[in-house]
Amino acid sequence: MFSATLQSLLLALAVSSGIAHAEAKEARRSELSARQGSHPFTFVNRCGGPITPVIADTKCGYSPRCGDAASYSGPQPGAIAPGASATYNINTAWVGRVFASHPQCGPKGESCTLGEFNLDTGSQFTAQAYDISNIQGFTDGMAISAAGCAGVSCPNVNCGCTQAYAPGDLSGCGADLPVRACGPGSVAFTGSSNSLRQSASRPSPEAIKPPPGSTDWRPSLEAPP
């Protein structure tokens, strides 16, 4: 009697444990799913010709963020015609760059104008941080807007430190003046390219090297046009 009761109890515990494990696994799957595609990025082409945006990860490389950062898992954008736009969902904890493709651009946008993003940093106040950077080269006018938050706009290479990092400037514009930030949660970003240039204004290779001991061009960030 006791043995049968014990066996029933052990069986019930095993079933309960299995259910709990399955529920926990499903919860983790749901959490991971919720983290995918949380930020809609809309790319707008205000140039006179087509542009092809590139979405590039920078975690564990240009960005010091690694284990807590997500890679972009969606398709790369195709060519966008003048006056047209396209929207892509980007992972919640993504850290990366977006740039308009040019022959001189490196795989991570080296030598080109960059929109840089550091999403869901864990900070209550600056969970989504973003900027425009011409540090490694200027190729396009660019603007970034975020729903309910401040934007940045740099139509030319001389747009000023409050809107973008200048070519070859590793000073961080003093107090990282070009950086904007939003609070936590899903944020809709819109990036537009304008005044497209076929010839780039680029600093020398020496000027765009990171500072000694640095894993990034500046204290934080990296991403869209």
Query: Tell me: the pLDDT tens digits for 205-220?
Result: 333 333 333 233 232 2
| Contact present, 80 and 50 (Cβ < 8 Å) | yes
Q: For the chain, what percent of residues have pLDDT higher than 90? A: 45
Q: Does the structure show a pLDDT above 90 at 121?
A: no
Residue ranges per domain, the chain? 1-35, 37-208
Residue 126, pLDDT score = 80
Q: Does the structure show a pLDDT above 80 at 185?
A: no
> pTM of whole model > 0.75?
no
Residue 14, pLDDT score = 40
| Contact present, 188 and 147 (Cβ < 8 Å) | yes
Q: What is the mean pLDDT of the chain?
A: 74
Question: Which of 218, 9, 202 minimizes the C-alpha distance to 105?
Answer: 202
Residues 10-32, mean pLDDT to the nearest whole number: 41
Residue 60, pLDDT score = 93
Confidence tier at 159 by pLDDT (50, 70, 90): very high
Q: Does the structure show a pLDDT above 90 at 169?
A: no
- The H-assigned helical ranges of the chain are 2-35, 173-176
Residue 112, pLDDT score = 95
CATH for 37-208, options being 1.10.10.10, 3.30.70.1530, 3.40.605.10, 2.60.110.10: 2.60.110.10
Question: In this predicted structure, which of 77-91, 126-140, 177-191, 193-207 has the lowest mean pLDDT?
Answer: 193-207
Q: Does the structure show a pLDDT above 80 at 222?
A: no
Length of the chain measured in residues:
225
189-194/39-45 β-pairing: parallel
| Contact present, 139 and 149 (Cβ < 8 Å) | no
Q: Which residue has the higher pLDDT, 192 or 77?
A: 77
Cα–Cα dist 110/113, whole Å: 8
Question: In this predicted structure, which of 58-67, 70-79, 110-119, 216-225 has the lowest mean pLDDT?
Answer: 216-225
Cα dist from 212 to 97, 110, 174, whole Å: 22, 18, 18
Q: Check the CA dihedral 147-88-172-165 and report its sign.
A: negative
Residue 78, pLDDT score = 93
Rg (CA), the chain: 22
Instruction: Provide CB contacts within 8 A for 208, sequence distance 6+.
Output: 110, 111, 135, 136, 137, 168, 217
